[in-house]
Each structure stands twice: as structure tokens, then as C-alpha cells.
Structure 1
Amino acid sequence: MTKFLISIVGPTAIGKTALSIKLAQHFKTEIISADSRQFFKDMHIGTAAPNKEELAAAKHHFIHHKSIIDNYNVGAFEKEALQCLETLFKTKDVVIIVGGSGLYVDAITKGLDDFPEVDSQIRENLNADLETKGLPYLQEQLKTLDITSYNTIAIDNPHRVTRALEICIGTNKPYSSFLNKEKTKRDFKTITIGLTADRPIIYNRINQRVDIMMQAGLLKEVESLLPYQHLNALNTVGYKELFNYLNGDWDLDFAISEIKKNTRRFAKRQLTWFKKDESILWFDYLSDVEVVIKSIEVKIFD
């Protein structure tokens, strides 16, 4: 029998975790997380990782399995997640993958893009520019060289920006021109479910979630991570803004408002990324789960 991976995507705070658990319970299966920040056990509140009740409701993989000091990237995730899928598909016909990190979802469902080798000196020069001139300088450079990537990658992530620039400069071609080429075919079929809502609703849900995170102790969590603020894993919305408060650069109200603003921007980029995929079955975030299940089963038994 053909094996199916049900991928649940959409902007942050839209309800992907709740839907994934309902689908896992219906299909009697397990969930793979493709949220690149929920991998880290040191970051719980600020990443909106599933709570104890949610983790108990369905078995999850790739939640809090790494430390922020571990060097973990999308290539390593692709390898480990495909191994996990191979094991799960021995006993299950359907597996769920859920996450808002488009690159990590695509790594599993489509495979990673193949990039040419470029001179390592380019990366060193870009890192020096990042150190001396700051991320906005590199962002403007990327905007000039590859507006498509500027509009779709995680533009607030220095690693993603320098990687895109490295390819642009090293090949004299846009980073985006190397994306979405023919890749290795997967031995399972993917059905992608997208959750969405009108933008004001998404933004309101984000603002409410940030307030809930603060009430749950996000500031204390970030304070405990202050000695590690230089790590790439912590260059994340919700953490970097509170580091600025704890370092005395911002007041707390402004830091919280920046978390909300940057999370809204992140959600906008997520939607831009996912809207490129015309195969996604989109549902309003309030849709009845039975309607979603019926649509999936039509695809499975088609």
C-alpha cells in the first residue's frame, strides 16, 4: 500500500499543533515536528512547543531532542527525519509532519536543493561585514542581488541571509535560481494541508500568543539563556528582543511590542513561502476537523 505523509503548514499561532494531534489520533499515527526552534530543549515557552498534555495526546518526534549548543541544521534534520519516517512507515500507512519552518518541511517532502561550491573566503568576508556593518547592510545587499530570496527567506536570520549572499556572490546568479530544481523522488506521497485566516485575525492571534507567553514566564526563560545569547539557535523572535531588554538597550514594553511586530512579519513570510505551492489544500483555521479528514481520505483513496 502507498504510504502517505500528511504535512500541516501555515502561519504561526494558527492552530497547526491542535489539528496535527486530532489527525494523528484519527489515523492512529505519530507526529514529526518540522519547527526548527522546537528542536531545542532549552527553548520551550518562546517557541510555543507542545505542552505535556499535547505530547501525551499523540507521540511526537523532534521535540526538545537537541541542546542550543548543538550544531544542528536542515541537512542533519532531513537525514534523521527520513530515517524516522522509514521506521514509522513499517507499521503505519500515514504519518503527520507539522511545522512553520518552510525550509524544514520542504527538506522532507521535496528534498534539499543542490548548491555549487563557492570560495570559502566569501563567507568569511560576509561574516566580517555582519560583525562590523550589521545585518541590515547584508539585507540590503541581498535585496539588490536577489529580491525573490529577500522576500521569501527568514530575512531576520543572519545565517540564512549570509548563505543566500554567499551563493549570489560566488556564482553571479541569484540564490533563488538554484531552488526548486528536480530532486530525488520520495517513496511516499505527501498531502499538504494549509491553515489560514484573514490577516487581521492572524495578527490578533499572534499578539494574544505573545501576551500568553509573557504570562507563562518567557522573560524568566530568556534570562536563564542570557549567557548563550550569541548562539544562532537563540537569534530567534521572542528571545533576541528580550535579550535587548535584559542588556539594558530597550524597555520591556518596547521589547514586547517588537516581539509582536517581528512575529507578524515572520507569519507574513511563512504565508509567502507556502502560497508558492499550488498543491496545498487550504482550510480556514475554524474548519471542522471532519471536513479536513474527509478531504485527506479522498486523496488517499483516490
Structure 2
Amino acid sequence: MRYFLLGPTASGKTEVSLELAEKLNAEIFSMDSMLVYRGMNIGTAKPTAAEQAKVPHHLLDLVSPSEEFSVAKYLEEAHKAEMDVRSRDKAALYVGGTGLYFKSLLFGLFDGPPIPGALRTELEEQLANGNRSDLREELRRGDPDLYGRLHENDDKRLLRGVETLRVTGQPLSEWQEQWKGHRPVEEPAAALIWDRSQAHNRVEGRFGAMMEEGLLEETRKILDGSGFGRSARQAIGYRQVLEHLEEDIPLSEATLKSITATRRLIRRQTTWIRNFPGIQLIPMKVGISAQDVGTKIANFWLS
């Protein structure tokens, strides 16, 4: 049996999942694209050792921050972990906010068109040589929809968009639309949703706590060790702290940029969650306990 607990960043998923897993006889499966990276603990709000001791967790700490990690690899690891828990008569409780992981688990992987390795290498070299603006302009002309949704530092999607245009002449956004559709969720799924003003307040407090816990030192340690690959470098919080360390922007500015980027992410996550018919939306508010929320969701799923 599989269950899904979703929610934007800073919505309280970890606390609720611990309560919920016990009621469902389940183990927790991370559904967050940044929790796969070892050592990126504070900035990703990764479940602590104490929290992981309460309920077994899967799909955490799979690769170094210097490595890339694909959706296909995530699905492969998820399948192996599901087989393991089923052999012990346990359920899988997926917890996270990465929409692509969620959609791929439900509906299969969006592969897109095959891309010649030589073209990908060529584009990566162009990017490395400082031609990001030319590639972004090429994407703007050929796929304005994707361009409008693309963060200025999202090189992974930039390259994917440009290479799709060059190979097929068709925008990647059109390929994605054909795959996305509006299929309902037919497995038990709930999402924690906060009022926008309360969500904004939670983000500010959460990032301040991360800085106090040592996010700056954690980022510096990774930078001096394995280093950050292209994907891990895009993680909100780490990206801004790296700007402080590598480009000398003031730490106060990096903090403000992190808070702003997180709030934007929450808006995007909330939008895609609401676009899925079949997800039970759980209104959250200050003062509500994780135990009460877990009980409410479990009763709904098990009734």
C-alpha cells in the first residue's frame, strides 16, 4: 500500500508524517529532490537522526552533492525500497513537495525526445564558456512558455529546453503538456495547505533558525569537500549562501534572497498541488498539532 503526504516547503510535513506513519503501519519515503544529497541537512530541513530513529526513512542521502541525480534513478531506488517494506508487511508513506517525483510515481516517467550525447556535450560546453545569455535567448524565441517559468540560474531545464528545440523543433513545454494532462490521483493523497500570510511568517522564522543551526558552515564544508554539482547548487538557501561565499554579497542580502525565493517556491508548489484532482487538502493554522492532523488524515484514509 502507498500513501502520499504532500505540502509546500515549511508546511509541517515532517512532524505530521511521523504521527501518520505510526497510524498507517508505514515507513517514510522522501519525495524531495534535495534530500537525496548527503551532507545537505540544515538547508533542506532533512529529518534529524532522532526523527529518523522514530520511523525508518528511505530515499535520503543517496548521492554526494557533486553528483547529478535523475528522476529515473529516483524511481529505481523507490521501487527497491517499496519491495523491501512490502516484504515486511509495511506500507510506504511518501512525504515531500517535489511535483515531478510525485507525478512520475503516479503516472510514469516523462522521457521526452531522445537527445544525442554530442549535442548535450556541446551545450554544456557553451554554458561553461559563459554563453548562458545566448542559450536563454534561444529558449525565449523557441519556447516562451518554458522561458517564462525558468529561474535565471536553472541551467538544467535551460539545457533541456534548448536541446529539445534543436532536435525536434517542438517546445519542451508542449511535450510536457501532452504528458501532464489532468488525470486524477487515485491513491490516498493529502496536502498540508497554509494561509499565505502564515506561510510567509513560517518561512522567515525557519530560515533564521537554519542560519543559527549552522547553514553557513555546512555550505562551506561541502564547498571545501566534494563541492556542489549543478543541481545541488540550485537548492534554495545553499544557492544564496554560495553567492555570499563566492561572490561576496552581504550575508543579510543572501538571507533576504533565500526567504523571497522560498516564498515564490511555496506559491508554485501550492498551485500544482491544487491542480491535482483527488488530493485531500488539509487547512493548517497556528496552534494545530501534528498529532491531530495525522489522526484526521489517517481516519479519512482508513475509513
TM > 0.5: yes
Q: Distance in 2 between matches of 1:254 and 1:134?
A: 27
Alignment-mate amino acid for residue 92 of structure 1: D
**1:145-185 per-position Cα deviation (integer Å, ceiling 9, x unaligned):** 334444667764311221133223321222133236579xx
Structure 2 residue 6 is matched with structure 1 residue 9: yes
Unaligned runs of 5+ in 2: 181-185
Alignment-mate amino acid for residue 272 of structure 1: T
Q: Tell me the equivalent position of 2:113.
A: 116
Q: Distance in 2 between matches of 1:209 and 1:137?
A: 37
Alignment-mate amino acid for residue 88 of structure 2: T
Q: Distance in 2 between matches of 1:133 and 1:163?
A: 17
Structure 2 residue 199 is matched with structure 1 residue 202: yes
- 1:295 is matched with which residue: 292, 297, 300? 300
User: Could you say what the CA RMSD is over the residues aligned between the two structures, in angstroms?
Assistant: 2.7
TM-score when normalising by structure 1: 0.85
Aligned-pair CA distance for 1:133: 4.8
Judged with a 3 Å threshold, the aligned counterparts in structure 2 of structure 1 residues 284 and 141 are, in CA distance, closer, same or farther, namely: farther
Q: Distance in 2 between matches of 1:244 and 1:35?
A: 23
Q: Secondary structure at the match of 2:47?
A: coil
Q: Secondary structure at the match of 1:76?
A: helix
Q: Number of aligned pairs?
A: 291
Aligned-pair CA distance for 1:79: 0.9
Judged with a 3 Å threshold, the aligned counterparts in structure 2 of structure 1 residues 84 and 241 are, in CA distance, closer, same or farther, namely: same
**1:10-66 per-position Cα deviation (integer Å, ceiling 9, x unaligned):** 210011111111110111210110211111122110111001221112110012232
Aligned-pair CA distance for 1:91: 3.3
Q: Distance in 2 between matches of 1:265 and 1:155?
A: 14
Judged with a 3 Å threshold, the aligned counterparts in structure 2 of structure 1 residues 295 and 138 are, in CA distance, closer, same or farther, namely: farther
Q: Distance in 1 between matches of 2:203 and 2:279?
A: 23
Aligned-pair CA distance for 1:262: 1.4
**Residue pairs, 1:185-200, within 5 angstroms:** 190-200=187-197
Q: Tell me the equivalent position of 1:80.
A: 77
Q: Identical aligned pairs, as a percentage? A: 29
Q: Tell me the equivalent position of 1:161.
A: 158
Q: Is the 8 A contact 1:229 1:235 kept in 2?
A: no
Structure 2 residue 236 is matched with structure 1 residue 231: no
Q: Tell me the equivalent position of 1:186.
A: none
Aligned-pair CA distance for 1:229: 4.5
Q: Distance in 2 between matches of 1:278 and 1:156?
A: 31
Unaligned runs of 5+ in 1: 184-188
Q: Distance in 2 between matches of 1:217 and 1:108?
A: 34
Q: Is the 8 A contact 1:146 1:174 kept in 2?
A: yes
Judged with a 3 Å threshold, the aligned counterparts in structure 2 of structure 1 residues 136 and 239 are, in CA distance, closer, same or farther, namely: farther
Q: Tell me the equivalent position of 2:169.
A: 172
Alignment-mate amino acid for residue 229 of structure 2: L
Judged with a 3 Å threshold, the aligned counterparts in structure 2 of structure 1 residues 167 and 68 are, in CA distance, closer, same or farther, namely: same
Q: Is the 8 A contact 1:154 1:160 kept in 2?
A: no
Structure 2 residue 104 is matched with structure 1 residue 99: no
Q: Tell me the equivalent position of 1:265.
A: 264
Judged with a 3 Å threshold, the aligned counterparts in structure 2 of structure 1 residues 191 and 258 are, in CA distance, closer, same or farther, namely: same
Range moving further from structure 2, 120-129 or 235-244: 120-129
Q: Distance in 2 between matches of 1:153 and 1:247?
A: 23
Higher RCO (CA-CA < 8 Å; seq separation 6+): 2
- 1:25 is matched with which residue: 22, 25, 35? 22
**1:104-139 per-position Cα deviation (integer Å, ceiling 9, x unaligned):** 222222211132223445434433443355656645
Alignment-mate amino acid for residue 276 of structure 2: D
Q: Tell me the equivalent position of 1:55.
A: 52
Q: Distance in 2 between matches of 1:68 and 1:9?
A: 24
Q: Tell me the equivalent position of 2:213.
A: 216
Q: Secondary structure at the match of 1:179?
A: helix
Q: Is the 8 A contact 1:151 1:269 kept in 2?
A: no
**1:239-264 per-position Cα deviation (integer Å, ceiling 9, x unaligned):** 12112212243011111111111122
Q: Distance in 1 between matches of 2:143 and 2:133?
A: 15
TM-score when normalising by structure 2: 0.85
